[in-house]
Structure 1
Amino acid sequence: MAQAHPAVLHASPARGKTVAQKASNVRWRIFAIIFALTVINLIDRVSLSIAMPTIAAEFELTPSMQGLILSSFFWAYALLQIPGGWLIDRYGPRRVIGWSTGLWGMFQTLAAFATGGLSLMFARVALGAAEAPLFPSGGKLNSLWLGSSERSRGAVLMDCGGPLGVALGGLIIAYLIAVLGSWRIAFFIAGIATLAMAWLAWHYLRDNPAEHPAVNDAELDKINQGRAVPMAEAALQATKGLGIAARSLTGILLGRASWAMVFFGLLTWGPSYLAQARGFDIKGIGAATFIIFLCGAVGSLVGGYLCDLLIRKGVRRGVAAKSLLSVSGLVALGAFLLLPQLDDAFAAVALLALTAFFLMWGSLYWSFPALLAAPSRVGLIGGVMNLAGSLGGIVVPILVGLLLQHLGGYSAVLGFFALCSALFIAGTLLIALDKTEVCHG
């Protein structure tokens, strides 16, 4: 039962005048929780990569077994994107986030008790399955809790937790292993922290803003501004098919998969590039990776705020979003073409940091399911979009490895990333965002 909210206008007892009620800010607390979950999500995800040298020595794992264990996370993660999206639309993001976060915290904790490669692989597959619904759930909450003028900020606030989690994860997990002398204790601590976040998410999140006890009428007006029917009610209405235009869906899939090729390419092969092509030692690689992905997190936030600012200034949503995303793709394309010409290693890191800053404007894609899909299909379309990104993340390490093995050197790899950047722009331009001016206010 929703708590009664005070009137938007109320009389001041002291002055006897009617004053406007200040809107509460529950929606941004909701997205602060989603941001924190995303950071922890990536910390848990990269923890195995950091600990693998220690684990491999303890379990006497072959390189091929290490590769299987490292990739096993994405098997279930990718396969459960669409089922996870369906569950979000069916049962609501609060239930799905609460249960999935609890499960992934449990499996992260259980990984600390692994006795060999197979049990560790099982824990990683289960972790991937449990983490699968988080980003589509965030996309659904974007549609339920934010008005059209705030969705870009909500999308990037969620997604910027990814690169920040990568940047922090290496430092935190490595520090815990070094100080505590045990990868098992580090995994256990990370799992318990995730379980605590599951409790917080279940306690505070709501699927319907009107049912949150801390939301007042002024904030509800902001959330539902321009909507004929509140989104929480519209999400209950039946929809045939996928509820999205084929052209826009094609653009989303192409753009997100191409973007993910670049992002996960930097994530998986970036350290090797810094070591082999630029001569950095392990400390230098850690510092450079931290700087690059921290710049990506900042860039994600800047892109979202810029997009919403342009829309508030009267720029059409399609023009604002496509312009920023095109700039993002063009900067990445130019950077990957320029990198082979740079001799100075520190200049290369600076260029990669700049590239990550603009590349993470691609976080704006997480506002698209809420803008383009029917309200009852937002979770599903978010899952489909994240599936495309996950497949890009699975494929790109293999492709880069093949390019290095058969062509030698990183010039071909950087050229491939430039091609992906161009396809990212092409996919973005296909998306029919202008129609959302009428459909979604």
Structure 2
Amino acid sequence: MDSRRYRIAFLLLGMSLLSYVDRATISFAATGIAHDFRLTPVALGFLFSSFLWSYSALVVPMGVMVDRFGPKRIAGLGLAVWSAATVAGGLVPGYGSLLLTRLVMGGAEAVSNPSGARVVRSWFPAAERGIVTALFNSGSYVGPALCALIAGPLIAAFGWRSLFFLSGVLGLIWLLFWLRMFEQPERARWLGEGECQHILATRDTKQPGHATGYPKASGLLRLLRAGPGLWGVAVTQGCNVYAQYLFLTWLPSYLRHVLKVPTANVGFWAAVPYAVAAAACIVAGHASDRLLRGRVAGGGRRLAVAAMACIVATVAAIPFAHTTTMAILLAALSLSGIASTTSLNFALLNDIVASPSDVGVCMGFVVLVGNLFGLTAPIVTGYVVSTTGGYTAAFLAAGTLQIFGAASALLLSHGAIVASHISNTDAAPPPRTRECK
């Protein structure tokens, strides 16, 4: 069987990677920004968190737009806007205008996860969701790792503003690839006939106990009332994202100020755990696909999600590491758990959402809850550092949350997500095998 469909997986990887490069620029440029704009740790915490405010506000509407207008146009528009906003971040004269560019960037980046989930559902057999979702999500860790490696030399040579210019321009270049290559499988002329028919025949699985065919789009409120599945995925994601954004925003500062890593070496040490996490989440996604063998309906993947959430809890041990090497090893283990939990949790969501017409809005809700947790992490950590002079309480809080995340996955994330008003007569007819191209 041909595997040209994986070109789409690497398009998604690039989109995710660039979005996280743009997010990470602020943390690696923090020392220069704080010096130029005379910022306190609390002010930095709010700046680190700011893009999540607009991201959270718009992610559900963006999910609805992806379901209605398709991922090509909506993701392309978002990529253009967030890349332009990142470039603008290198031109700002002060704190307020930099905050504004982060808000614009965050609102535009709200398209990424709903688009990615809908693309995975449209383009890949159900038996491949784990590995493809992991490839998409691995960009969340490859991006910060690359940013960590290039940030130090670039800032040393050209100043912190150059990091914003480079990351924004790379996003605009990737937009050209996205617009040229992406289509639905039925319309992709570069996709072979046999592979196209294979995708159409295997990308959905029948949920037990529910109508055949594709239920009509249900609306978020109906889906939330239908059962615990959507809530379970969302709560697990929230606990996980809190730890993710603790690392994304404060890890360079922790290395520099607590572990006394020289500024020239911070980028390397920060990149290591992200690189390990990117590889680990791909391995975990592939393993879950192999174990489930396409039997994904009913939420069987939730066991793996809960196991990975328990691994994330090792974040609580980081403040008790007395050497840089031990702290980095613990960070790598915890970030590997974070990356794997996110990948498997997103794949689990696609497993249990009954209708492709609801994937975007469900993903939007899950990401919203995740970001409501995540946006507090930089701010809470800023206050912890300001009041205690250390990071111990911040890491302990992140570790404790993972126990709740694992319990949510085990107890709630099961059964099909389908609105209770959908009946056999409401369901749309089973999809016909359409002619490719």
For the aligned pair, the TM-score class normalised by the smaller chain equals: 0.7 to 0.9
Equivalent residue for 2:171? 194
Q: CA deviation at 1:364?
A: 1.3
| Deviates further, 407-416 or 183-192 | 407-416
Residue among 329, 335, 338 paired with 1:356: 335
- Structure 1 residues 261 and 316: alpha-carbon distance in aligned structure 2, compared to 1, 3 A threshold: same
Equivalent residue for 1:327? 307
Alignment partner of 1:150 is 2:128 = yes
- Structure 1 residues 423 and 65: alpha-carbon distance in aligned structure 2, compared to 1, 3 A threshold: closer
Q: CA deviation at 1:300?
A: 1.1
Q: CA deviation at 1:42?
A: 1.0
1:355-393 CA-to-partner distances (Å, cap 9, x unmatched) read 222332112122233222222111011111111111111
For 1:160, what is the secondary structure of its paired residue?
Answer: helix
Q: CA deviation at 1:276?
A: 5.1
Equivalent runs, 1:38-437 vs 2, <5 Å: 38-59=16-37, 65-179=43-157, 181-206=158-183, 208-226=184-202, 237-239=216-218, 241-243=221-223, 245-275=226-256, 277-312=258-293, 321-333=301-313, 335-336=314-315, 338-339=317-318, 342-362=321-341, 363-373=343-353, 374-403=355-384, 409-433=390-414, 435=416
Q: Which amino acid aligns with 1:163?
A: Y
For 1:80, what is the secondary structure of its paired residue?
Answer: helix
Q: Percent identity?
A: 27
**Counterparts of 1:166 and 1:434, CA distance in 2:** 35
Q: Which amino acid aligns with 2:181?
A: Y
For 1:149, what is the secondary structure of its paired residue?
Answer: helix
1:382-440 CA-to-partner distances (Å, cap 9, x unmatched) read 1111111111111123333455566675444333222111111111113444659xx99
1:32-61 CA-to-partner distances (Å, cap 9, x unmatched) read 011011111111122222223334444555
**Counterparts of 2:173 and 2:334, CA distance in 1:** 35
Q: Which amino acid aligns with 2:244?
A: F
**Counterparts of 2:378 and 2:96, CA distance in 1:** 22
TM-score by length of 2: 0.84
Residues 332 and 358 in structure 1, CA contact (< 8 A), matched pair in contact too: yes
- Structure 1 residues 204 and 265: alpha-carbon distance in aligned structure 2, compared to 1, 3 A threshold: same
| Deviates further, 420-429 or 366-375 | 366-375
Q: How many residues align?
A: 409
Q: Which amino acid aligns with 2:23?
A: R
Q: Which amino acid aligns with 2:113?
A: F
Q: CA deviation at 1:96?
A: 0.6
Residues 60 and 364 in structure 2, CA contact (< 8 A), matched pair in contact too: yes
**Counterparts of 1:169 and 1:326, CA distance in 2:** 30
| Deviates further, 120-129 or 30-39 | 120-129
- Structure 1 residues 252 and 94: alpha-carbon distance in aligned structure 2, compared to 1, 3 A threshold: same
**Counterparts of 2:227 and 2:92, CA distance in 1:** 45
Residues 37 and 197 in structure 1, CA contact (< 8 A), matched pair in contact too: yes
- Structure 1 residues 316 and 146: alpha-carbon distance in aligned structure 2, compared to 1, 3 A threshold: closer
- Structure 1 residues 190 and 396: alpha-carbon distance in aligned structure 2, compared to 1, 3 A threshold: closer
Q: Which amino acid aligns with 1:378?
A: V
Q: CA deviation at 1:301?
A: 0.8
- Structure 1 residues 183 and 382: alpha-carbon distance in aligned structure 2, compared to 1, 3 A threshold: same
1:223-276 CA-to-partner distances (Å, cap 9, x unmatched) read 23346899xxx7794435544643101101210000111211222333444455
Q: Which amino acid aligns with 1:262?
A: A
Q: CA deviation at 1:151?
A: 0.6
Gaps of 5+ in 1: 1-21
Q: Which amino acid aligns with 2:80?
A: G
Q: Which amino acid aligns with 2:99?
A: M
| Deviates further, 406-415 or 35-44 | 406-415
Gaps of 5+ in 2: 207-212, 418-426, 431-437
**Counterparts of 2:391 and 2:76, CA distance in 1:** 42
Residues 41 and 382 in structure 2, CA contact (< 8 A), matched pair in contact too: no
| Deviates further, 122-131 or 137-146 | 122-131
Residues 110 and 123 in structure 1, CA contact (< 8 A), matched pair in contact too: yes
- Structure 1 residues 32 and 122: alpha-carbon distance in aligned structure 2, compared to 1, 3 A threshold: same
Residues 310 and 320 in structure 1, CA contact (< 8 A), matched pair in contact too: no
Q: Which amino acid aligns with 2:334?
A: T
**Counterparts of 2:332 and 2:145, CA distance in 1:** 12
Residues 151 and 163 in structure 2, CA contact (< 8 A), matched pair in contact too: yes
